Chain A
Amino acid sequence: MTKKLLEINNLVVKFGGVTALNEVNLHVNEGEIAALIGPNGAGKTTVFNIVTGYYTPASGDVLVDGKSVLGLRPYKIARAGLGRTFQNIRLFGDMTALENVATAADSLNQSGLIGSLFGVPRSRRDEKKSMETAMELLTFIGLDHRAHQMAKNLPYGDQRRLEIARALALNPKVLLLDEPAAGFNPQEKVELGNLIRKIKDRGFAVLLIEHDMSLVMKISDRISVLDFGQKIAEGKPEEIQSNQRVIDAYLGVAEDAS
């Protein structure tokens, strides 16, 4: 049986009187690209905000590699193995591309501030390692030539990819991508699809939120569909495409005239 790297069990999330997620079960297996789709406001980003520790759910559990991360501070969850990107790009604008990635890589070492101040050997080693990891990831993502440019000055597409590199620097068990293709033209979407496959080949499991169906259908191993906070379907891309409930959720159901 394949290992579940991310498991979401019976998740219930309420904002005031609104139930944003109701008894949602999701999981991401080792080495797969899982997709989470659904109409706007279905609760997809809320899932990301829950698993990364930004909100606390009313009930339910989140397990990363078999261990519950519920109630942990977001930085601890990040270190436990969840790296994420954001729907609206949220880079550290006034830092260089390299520093953006290195900041995330830093959290994998235990070097403290005193060590950095006096330049103890361990701190020097960790510093070097962070920089090497960051540069290697920038090369992987194809942004090594922009390493010393400010993140805010990068073109839009590069900013999106830089976010992915930054999340990968956490060496996550599962990479959470929140609409990575938003604003991309068809050619860029194809390139992004290839990149996500390359990320999978490097051994990262991916959970993808995306609105572009052709991209989702092409690269996903498994798709879950959310609608109004409920999971309405789950299965292989072909199964989802022909699922009547999914079609209804996206296109709406004709009201009965009677």
Chain B
Amino acid sequence: MAKFNARDRFGDWWDKSNPAQRTIFRIVVIGFFYALPLLNNPVIDTPETSFKSVLFYPLIMFSLMAVGLNVVVGKSGILDLGYVAFFAIGAYTHAVMSAHTSLNFWEILPFAMGFAMLAGVILGLPALRLRGDYLAIITLGFGEIVRIIAVNTSAIGGAAGITGIPGPTSIFGFEFTVMDPRPYYWLTLTILCLVIWGVLRLTHRKPGRAWEAIREDEDVAEFMGVATLKYKLWAFIIGGAVGGIAGAIYASQIRSIQPELFTLNLSIMILACVVFGGMGNIWGVILGAVLLGYIPEKLRFLSDYRIIFFGLLMVVMMNIRPNGLMPRKKREKIGEKTS
């Protein structure tokens, strides 16, 4: 029996399509996501929380972070259990800099990204000399260290955190107010599109091959001339940059941050999005982030029991599809033998 395979069907269509068709497809898909907060669809609406705010957090935030973490975990095979640290650094950068400088959100954004990248280098240089479990433990520690420093530094509010963080100034006629999460969603979606574009560029070229080689067999990658430390460091830097941007947007939307927002739980959650969706496949990872963000909100009518159902669902799903919902799998083309 020929098995219907949506991925292969789509892949065949994509290979045969012309540039115009592809552009139309892209515009339709991206347009759909931009229009999402304007639709009032009772099927996808979340019953007890505002769907518009669910769209911003957790859906699009999780997606952005999962795409960033996927470069580290899915592409390069480095288990990072402290990804929340980059998110926290981005959030605190915006909170602190907007309080102490006259810069606005848009001017701070590069700093949030830059500091998170710097943190990636600082963590990566010593840590990436280790592998596997040991590296995972170091990243776990890093995530906790950042949070504990935030708790114990009174200059950045200590355990009480920072309140009164300004939102972004209006841009292209979009006002960023406390009441309306939609502009934040559109902003994050725009950044997500840019990040996807950049990550796809990289993964289809030399850096992507280097990352995959490292994931498959780090020693052999090194024997084949791949500067493994350099590319692992780049993976950390890129993952960190994305986490930093996400953090800055998040801080500007919720207006007050506390260290308790940046616990290990969030690192695990984003990692779960990556694993659940399909490690190494950017589309799978986004699907994972969307589902893992959405399902608990949709199940809110079960009150606290929803977490049990959510856990149960994950256990069942990981048994049915251990490689994630959309595993990374390149389509194989079998050619004719010429010689």
Contact = CB atoms under 8 A, between A and B. Distances in A.
Contact of A116 (B205, B219, B335, B339): B205
20 contacts: A52-B223, A75-B226, A78-B222, A78-B225, A92-B216, A93-B216, A103-B221, A107-B227, A113-B206, A116-B201, A116-B205, A117-B202, A144-B338, A145-B334, A148-B330, A148-B332, A148-B333, A148-B334, A149-B332, A149-B334
B198 interface: yes
Given A102-B209, A144-B338, A170 B220 contact: no
A113 B234 contact: yes
Contacts of B220: 86, 90-92
A96 B213 CA distance: 11
A84 B221 CA distance: 11
Nearest to B212: A95
A143 B213 CA distance: 20
A95 B213 CA distance: 8
Interface magnitude class on chain B: 35 or more
Interface in A106-120: 106-109, 111, 113, 116-117, 119
A125 B332 CA distance: 26
Interface string B209-249: 11011011101111111111001001000000000000000
A169 B334 CA distance: 22
Q: Which 5 A-B pairs have the closest CB atoms?
A: A107-B225, A92-B216, A78-B225, A148-B333, A145-B335
Interface string A42-83: 000000000010100000000000000000011100110001
Interface in A135-161: 139, 142, 144-150, 153
A173 interface: no
Contacts of A113: 202, 206-207, 231, 234
A166 B209 contact: no
Given A103-B221, A139-B339, A148-B333, 7 more contacts: A86-B220, A92-B220, A106-B209, A106-B226, A108-B225, A116-B207, A167-B224
Contact of A123 (B205, B228, B333): B205
A179 interface: no
Contacts of A126: 206
Contacts of B215: 94
B212 A94 contact: yes
A104 interface: yes
Interface residues of A, number: 48
B12 to A, nearest CB: 14
B300 interface: no
A70 to B, nearest CB: 16
A145 B201 contact: no
B5 to A, nearest CB: 16
A32 interface: no
Given A106-B209, A116-B202, A119-B201, A142 B226 contact: no
A79 B230 CA distance: 15
B336 interface: yes
A103 B225 CA distance: 8
A130 interface: yes
A75 to B, nearest CB: 5
A103 to B, nearest CB: 5
Given A95-B212, A116-B201, A116-B205, A75 B337 contact: no
B335 A127 contact: no
B328 interface: yes
Interface string B44-71: 0000000000000000000000000000
Contact of B330 (A96, A102, A145, A146): A96
Interface in B157-204: 198, 201-202
Contacts of A167: 224
Nearest to B199: A117
B206 A111 contact: yes
A7 interface: no
Given A78-B224, A92-B220, A106 B212 contact: no
A257 to B, nearest CB: 49
A75 B224 CA distance: 6
Nearest to A140: B339
Contacts of A127: 205-206
A99 interface: yes
